[in-house]
Chains A and B, each alone.
Chain A
Amino acid sequence: MKETDCLIVGIGPAGLTAALYAQRYALKTIVIGKSLGQAGDAIWIENFPAIKSISGSEFIQKMMEQVTSLGAEIIFDEILEIKKSGKYFTAKTSSEEFKAKSVILAMGSRQKKLEVQGEKELIGKGVAYCASCEGAFYKNKIAGVVGGGNSALTAALMLAQHAEKVYLFHRSEFRAEPVWIEKVKKDSKIEIHLNSVIEKINGKSKVESVLIKENNKSKEIKLDGLFIEVGHIPNTELAEKLGVKLNEKKLIEAGKNMNTNIKGVFAAGDATGASELKQIVVSAGQGAIAAFSVFNYLKSEFNE
């Protein structure tokens, strides 16, 4: 069993900034996560201070390098369970067990599925959730993107660099930052379909077309792939099982010190309801606060 001062769940901007600060406070820190989160999927990050533009995967890699060089350990795995036993917490993955004095929950969110016919069957065969990963396969092809937030619009812009044409479908009005909306509107390869709902994805061994309902009229549009960027669901099942209080949106209720209702458990980032603005800079800030709270907690509870 591995012992640690601070166990951080989630390898995103919140968890990794918490790990960075925990290193500054000289706390033994283990970070565990099964993915690099939503930030890792980001095509371009252009709103983080001091960085003009960077890909999400590079950004997270740099964060990981920074915290591991300072001594934190990062483990790529899924935590199956966290339990409180006395003053300590125990956690386990499929192959390891951990004992921690404190926990920071920073597991973020995962992408929503579209939940239409053909989606599940055609994953990897034209249906995709990561344009930065698979965009290059659409050279001179026709791609579609569904969604209206920053992820959807940046996916459309990125695909337009490769594809012959990109359809952008959204059920209502765009909710992305105005800078992305302007760029999408100006891109001659992107055809925007608002008030459009995808009803079905067609194809046998690969995506061939989508059936959409646009302003209540059905039509079929031929395309080679569909990128789904329709929002996120918080990854808070593990927190709920531990007894952490969630709000009506299933987000962790965190106080101003990023504390939760359980002593020794703190939270940060998109898994919390602490901020309506879900951004890397916000998650990073919350991660720093959570680490500072852990530092104070360990001092008072463990006399460290």
Chain B
Amino acid sequence: MSVIVYSTNACPFCIMAKQYLKQKGVSFNEINVDEDEVKAKEMIEKSGQQGVPVLDINGVIIIGFNKPKIDEALKNLKD
């Protein structure tokens, strides 16, 4: 299982998304797109937009801190 969180330094919804995953005990790779232009491009290609955060939960792309979608993607992982 792979969970990636694309975020920027000062983005409130990124903070919420990361804290939410931590609360659920989900480990994730955090990519700071402020500092990594290649990864920023990768995020834009995956999500078709440049708003942050973008979550990649085993290939399921979620834009923003969308709790129901995060829960669903995590549930599908476990099932």
Residues of A within 8 A of B (CB): 35-37, 40-41, 43, 55-58, 60-61, 76-77, 94, 123-126, 128, 130, 132-134, 136-137, 139
The interface centre, meaning the residue of B12, B16, B19, B49 with most chain A CB atoms within 10 A of its CB, is B12
CB-CB under 8 A for A133 and B52, given A57-B15, A76-B16 = yes
Contact across chains for A128 and B68 when beta carbons are under 8 A apart: no
Q: Is B34 an interface residue (CB 8 A)?
A: yes
| A94 proximity list for chain B (CB < 8 A) | 68
Residue from the list A58, A132, A134, A136 in contact with B51, Cβ < 8 A:
A134
Contact across chains for B68 and A57 when beta carbons are under 8 A apart: no
Contact across chains for A40 and B8 when beta carbons are under 8 A apart: no
Residue from the list A41, A126, A136 in contact with B8, Cβ < 8 A:
A136
In the complex, how many angstroms separate the beta carbon of A77 from the nearest chain B beta carbon? 7
Contact across chains for B67 and A77 when beta carbons are under 8 A apart: yes
CB-CB under 8 A for A128 and B51, given A76-B65, A136-B33 = yes
Distance A43 CA – B11 CA, assembled complex (angstroms): 10
Q: From A205, which residue of chain B is reached at the shortest CB distance?
A: B48
Q: Is B63 an interface residue (CB 8 A)?
A: yes
The interface centre, meaning the residue of B9, B10, B19, B40 with most chain A CB atoms within 10 A of its CB, is B10
Contact across chains for A76 and B67 when beta carbons are under 8 A apart: yes
Binary A-proximity of B15-41 (CB < 8 A = 1, otherwise 0): 110011000000000000110010010
Contact across chains for A124 and B16 when beta carbons are under 8 A apart: no
Contact across chains for A137 and B68 when beta carbons are under 8 A apart: no
Known contacts A55-B9, A132-B10, A137-B40; 14 additional CB pairs below 8 A are: A36-B12, A36-B16, A43-B10, A57-B10, A61-B15, A77-B67, A124-B50, A125-B49, A130-B11, A132-B9, A133-B52, A134-B52, A136-B40, A137-B50
Contact sample, A vs B, 14 pairs, CB 8 Å cutoff: A35-B16, A36-B13, A36-B16, A55-B10, A57-B10, A58-B10, A94-B68, A124-B47, A132-B8, A133-B10, A133-B14, A133-B51, A134-B8, A137-B50
